[in-house]
Amino acid sequence: MSFYAYFFEDGQEIDFNFLNNIINLTKNKNIKKINLNNKNNFNLCAAVSFLKDSVFKDSYIFNDTNICAIFDGDLIEYSSIPWKLILENFYRKNFDFFKNLRGYFVFLFYDLLNNIVYIISDHRSQFPVFYGLLRDKKVFLVSSELPSFCYFTNELEHTFLYDYFLFNYPIGTKTFIKNVFRLPPATFIKIDLKEMNIVKKRYHFFNFDKNLLKGSKAIREGLSTFNEIIPKYFCKNNTNLLGLSGGVDSRILLALCPPSLPLVVYTYGIPKCNDIITAEEIITLYFKELKTSYIQILFDDKFEEKLFDLFLKTVYFSGGTQSINRATLLFVYESLYSMFKNGVIISGISGDHIF
């Protein structure tokens, strides 16, 4: 899932095929588009790409005479985008509402009457949202894909490289493109397109209780929460692909998988590594109780032959935000896709945006 929203004054030229290709690099998604000519104000061209079997279908964009609203991402416990509820809270400027949504997401609202844009990130900024004022502030672009901005500028933000090489991945709000920023967690920004003024504000702060639960009480509370939430990870109508390793989180997922659902357990690594050995031992214990099959994806000679191509694809598909060290995951996901086209990958406990 990817999106862009391009706000521009009359006379600004752009190749929309470029932007549309950026949000559909794998060429296997549907695209929902909208074009608005706002007299005496900024025009808007926007698009959202989504999987063909998405439960939200093509409802990612809402539009009437007063507002254009765009959603991208995923919401837990919703089979459709609750636009009525979302807009009611937005019109009241009740941004507290968004802290109660479970999932990873971005919302964009364009107030057509006042020429004001609001952009809202999820709790942890797990869904990437980038924005920037370009072409002497005659263009405002928002996108989930950094390469979208390369159409307008090739100026690099050199200070970004210090963080990237130190931590091996991007942190904070800087990007490698000058004057293009990432929206922080639990934040909304308000952009007055007339004045080209940006106001940024947190809609939620996370408070951590110093008096944490301990001992058996903590275990009971954790187990109760896991029992309530984790079964909701799994899909009834698609094959669930559960990544099993030597870690505790993947074992918890396997233990709490609803027994009646279609499940394939997979593990990956160098032949005879600890993850492979541990996964084999665990699946042997559970195999008789679960309706599942087990596969191994090995980093063997065939993997090595593809490695250079995987390096290039990893950087390409991530828009330059991931290093070649993540090429192993791309190999795993390509292998899974070749076997299970519509499988749903479940790996790790995504506590930040689920709980």
- For residue 355, pLDDT over 60 is answered with no
Which tokens go with 56? 């939200």
Report the share of the chain in percent with pLDDT over 70. Answer: 94
Phi, psi of 171 (to 5 degrees): -135, 165
Buried/exposed 297-318: b ≥16 CB within 10 Å, e otherwise: bbbeeebeeeeeebbebbbeeb
Predicted local confidence at residue 129, as pLDDT: 93
CA dihedral angle for residue 68, residue 74, residue 79, residue 85, rounded to 10 degrees: -40
Regarding whether 241 and 181 lie in a shared domain, the answer is no
Regarding whether 308 and 189 lie in a shared domain, the answer is no
Three-class secondary structure assignment of the chain: CEEEEEEECCCCCCCHHHHHHHCCCCCCEEEEEEEECCCCCCEEEEEEEEECCCCCCCCCEEECCCEEEEEEEEECCCCCCCHHHHHHHHHCCCHHHHHHCCEEEEEEEEECCCCEEEEEECCCCCCCCEEEEECCCCEEEEECCHHHHHHCCCCECCHHHHHHHHHCCCCCCECCECCEEECCCCEEEEEECCCCEEEEEECCCCCCCCCCCCHHHHHHHHHHHHHHHHHHHCCCCCCEEEECCCCHHHHHHHHCCCCCCCEEEEEEECCCCHHHHHHHHHHHHHCCCCCEEEEEEECCHHHHHHHHHHHHHHHHHCCCCCCHHHHHHHHHHHHHHHHCCCCEEECCCCHHHHC
Average pLDDT of 320-339?
Answer: 86
Regarding whether 294 and 190 lie in a shared domain, the answer is no
Regarding whether 256 and 186 lie in a shared domain, the answer is no
Report the share of the chain in percent with pLDDT over 90. Answer: 29
Q: How confident is the model at residue 321 (pLDDT cuts 50, 70, 90)?
A: confident
Predicted local confidence at residue 353, as pLDDT: 46
Residue 87 located in a structural domain = yes
Residue 63 located in a structural domain = yes
Predicted local confidence at residue 349, as pLDDT: 67
**Could you tell me which of 134, 140, 124 has the C-alpha nearest to residue 38?**
140
Residue 220 located in a structural domain = no
Regarding whether 236 and 198 lie in a shared domain, the answer is no
**What pLDDT, in 10s, does the model give residues 82-131?**
999 999 999 999 998 998 888 889 999 999 888 899 999 988 888 899 99
**What pLDDT, in 10s, does the model give residues 237-270?**
788 998 888 778 888 888 888 888 888 999 999 9
Q: How confident is the model at residue 40 (pLDDT cuts 50, 70, 90)?
A: low
- Number of domains observed in the structure of the chain: 2
Regarding whether 69 and 196 lie in a shared domain, the answer is yes
Write down which residue in 187, 202, 217 finishes a domain: 202
Residue 213 located in a structural domain = no
Q: Considering only the C-alpha atoms of the chain, give the largest distance between any 2 of them, rounded to a whole number of Å.
A: 68
Residue 56 located in a structural domain = yes
Predicted local confidence at residue 291, as pLDDT: 59
Question: Worst-scoring range by mean pLDDT, 28-32, 173-177, 288-292, 297-301?
Answer: 288-292
Regarding whether 193 and 233 lie in a shared domain, the answer is no
Which residues, 6+ apart, have CB-to-CB distance to 36 below 8 Å? 43, 44, 45, 63, 68, 110, 112
For the whole model, what pTM was predicted? 0.82
Residue 171: give the domain boundaries: 2-202
CATH number at residue 54: 3.60.20.10
Regarding whether 266 and 139 lie in a shared domain, the answer is no
Q: Report the alpha-carbon distance of residue 258 to residue 1 in Å, rounded.
A: 27
Predicted local confidence at residue 352, as pLDDT: 45
Regarding whether 241 and 135 lie in a shared domain, the answer is no
Q: Report the alpha-carbon distance of residue 161 to residue 100 in Å, rounded.
A: 35
- For residue 351, pLDDT over 70 is answered with no
Predicted local confidence at residue 288, as pLDDT: 59
**What pLDDT, in 10s, does the model give residues 143-158?**
999 889 988 888 888 8
- List, in sequence order, every residue forming a beta bridge with 74; answer none if it has no partner: 104
Average pLDDT of 33-53?
Answer: 83
Regarding whether 169 and 45 lie in a shared domain, the answer is yes
CATH number at residue 256: 3.40.50.620
Regarding whether 316 and 233 lie in a shared domain, the answer is yes
**What pLDDT, in 10s, does the model give residues 160-204?**
888 777 777 677 888 889 999 999 999 999 999 888 889 999 988
Predicted local confidence at residue 317, as pLDDT: 85
Residue 165 located in a structural domain = yes
Write down which residue in 166, 184, 202 finishes a domain: 202
- In the predicted model, what is the mean pLDDT of the chain? 85
Contact status, residue 319 vs residue 290, Cβ threshold 8 Å: no
Regarding whether 273 and 135 lie in a shared domain, the answer is no
Phi, psi of 145 (to 5 degrees): -120, 120
Which tokens go with 346? 């479940």
Residue 20 located in a structural domain = yes
Residue 152 located in a structural domain = yes
